[in-house]
Amino acid sequence: MNIERLDHFTIRTEHWEETAAFFSEVVGLQMGPRPAFSFRGYWLYASGKPILHIVSLTHLSSELEAYLGVKPAQRGGGAIDHVSLRCQGLAEMQTHFVKLGISFRERVIPEVGEHQLFLEDPNGITVEMIFPCSADDRIVGQAMPALDVSAQWEPRYE
């Protein structure tokens, strides 16, 4: 198992435009492209990497709920939807979770080259672990719905 680094954190909020403006204008992150998800949001970058994902709760959709699950709008730390870690060693991590009896959800997104594992910490915070996608990958945990991003994969800023 190899956790390489924190990949990004996601804020789920009704104040998505104000949040993007704050992190851009006050903190100094740069607005940048994001996949053409069927729900609104922004990706903000530091050193050329998307480190903050902002998801709009003002335009709820079944696609958003399928992608991130159902969570009500919250303030403070409760607005943090998930923390994402960039990793190596997918099969080893899947085996580790199974041995510990940890339930997890997963999906493969070949269009962006990622295999994602999702689990909950004892506080109910979702932890996403991102591994490189490979043709040898297997779904070991609970399979999540596939995403159809291939036909619409083009960077956009909203």
Find the range with the poorest average confidence among 17-21, 114-118, 122-126. Answer: 122-126
Answer positive or negative: Cα dihedral of 33, 35, 36, 42.
Answer: negative
pLDDT for the residue numbered 66:
64
What is the gyration radius of the CA atoms in the chain, in angstroms? 16
pLDDT for the residue numbered 154:
47
Of the pLDDT bands very low, low, confident and very high (cuts 50, 70, 90), residue 45 is very high
pLDDT for the residue numbered 22:
80
Find the range with the poorest average confidence among 36-40, 62-66, 101-105, 150-154. Answer: 150-154
Instruction: Quote the CA–CA distance of 158 and 84 in Å, as a whole number.
Output: 21
Mean pLDDT of 112-138: 85
DSSP structural state of residue 24 = I
CATH architecture of the domain 2-143 equals Roll (3.10)
Query: Domain-by-domain residue ranges, the chain?
Result: 2-143
The pTM of the full predicted model, rounded to 2 decimals, is 0.65
